[in-house]
Amino acid sequence: MFLQVLGTRRGQVNPGPAGLCRHFGECGGCSIQNIPYPEQLGRKKSRVNAALSASGLEVQAAHPSPDLWFYRNKMEFGFSDVHPPRPEGPSLYLGLKPKGQWRRVLDLQECRLLSPETPALLAAVRRWAAQSGLPPYNSVRHVGFLRHLVVREAKNGGERMVHLITAPGDFPAKPFAATVKEAYPAATILRGINAKISDTALPDSVEILTGTGRITEILRLEGRELRFQISPASFFQTNTRGAEVLYGIARRWAAQAKPEKILDLYCGGGGFALSLADLCEKVVGVESNAAAVADAQENAAANGVQNAEFYAGQTETLLPALLDMKLQVAVADPPRAGLHSKAAAALRAGGPPLLIYVSCNPDALVRDLAALAPVYRAEQAEMVDLFPHTEHVETAVLLRRA
């Protein structure tokens, strides 16, 4: 049985005999959308339970995503040329990578991950690009101009950002901004310049074309509203309403310790830190991305949070000194690769009584729990599906120092 989009504001779905995205099977995005959602959730729970088996744990709760479609608040689309060239057109593709093929771009005509307005935006940008004559970037030959289109949406805040990333060179900014505005309600539009060879949507510099260059997202937690300024380089959990569930789990577990001090490792823009700040006298975040630390500091000020401090640096480098603060709780939400071995060693040597470990990669979860096992006992595990219709899943594990 397949899943059929109803097109509701919250992006819910009903079972139905049809409704697969036209790109299903070729696109590298929603690889399991042909499986009924309850079964998707069950498969993910089984995978996480397998990862936890060595710790003697099972998932106590598997939380579904609050939104099953149109749940993502950020997507990166790529440009590519058409090879072999077609005299009748099109002259370029704009979309996502086909499954397992990094050199190609699938010309996306439909997508149910970001918002219903996404296809109209992509179509408008394609027309503008063709009319402008600006060539798409070829990631193999490293020639061309148009590289990526990054779109961010504040699911609770309502604002939207469109960020075009190009190679260096002259750029018709006003026609591009006008094109976006006609097709898509963007609060701010930006142009980034990436002169690097690597095929990433990370610009060297950013120019604001319209708006403030930022959007505001809102997290709702136990009657509180936290406002987060999202800049082009900000890290924010991809599924806003799913993140509210995840942060709620962390709050419930952290509150058990009645903590005076909490440490947020790999803190990004301060999501966990600011969500937990009202539970303690002091919360400290550490993050290697200096721009993200600046966002976290501004987010703390914007929300009137005066007991939060944020430091820029590698977690494994700063952690030994931070642990001298005699913490009661630490939250670790590392990148997909998991904890750095030196960070795991520091936690074993002097970590707090309670450690909340958040993982988006069951394989890294297995390795890191084993690395922490000599001194930390895994007590509880809950799963939050931040990525419906994909194989990815987020797992939170409560560990207590033995």
Q: Which residues are catalytic?
A: 360
Short-list 75, 137, 20, CA closest to 387: 75
8 A C-beta contact, residue 373 and residue 365: no
Buried b vs exposed e over 291-315: b needs ≥16 C-beta within 10 Å?
ebbbbbbbbbeebebeebebebeeb
Taking a C-beta distance cutoff of 8 angstroms, is the pair 263, 327 a contact? yes
Q: Is the peptide bond before 84 cis (omega within 30 degrees of 0)?
A: yes
3-state secondary structure of 163: strand
Residue 149 backbone dihedrals phi, psi, to 5 degrees: -125, 110
Return the beta strands (E) in 92-187 as ranges: 92-96, 106-107, 146-153, 160-166
Strand partners, 62: 383
* Residues 295 and 270 sit within 8 Å (Cβ to Cβ): yes
